[in-house]
Structure 1
């Protein structure tokens, strides 16, 4: 405590000094309460952001798998008939000429 502060509060019987001390303590309490609330809010926000990023990561994996599956289905739909026809022709030639 500084000398000025000691001098201000030295006469403990003076109600003005006690009122001043109580006001300053209330101010300090308000500041500390606000700081703690801010820290809790930031912690909560960080936790929510972590949860959101985890969900985004999981969703992106699902969408990637779905995109790969859809691409295969489209390839099969587009080239499947040609591949099937080619396979039938190969079986026919094998049966006709190599048997």
Structure 2
């Protein structure tokens, strides 16, 4: 199923966190937090100003991003858990 976000929204797939700490301790699933890092899978065309002018998106497909812990709306597409969020919920792009 193809999905295209509207306006200034993006579709993000979470990146799973590490199973071990840097010291080698295994983290059980019950102690893991939802990762606040993901990869952009689709972007909308951008927001519009009051005069109708299009404001281009700062992110693109494939960008690895950080976002707020409680950002976005969780959905399931093609059996994968994804997030739909506004571009403004993204804190930055990881390089």
Q: TM-score, normalised by structure 2?
A: 0.19
Higher strand share: 2
The structure whose RCO (Cα within 8 Å, separation 6+) is larger is 2
Structure showing greater radius of gyration is 1
Q: TM-score, normalised by structure 1?
A: 0.18
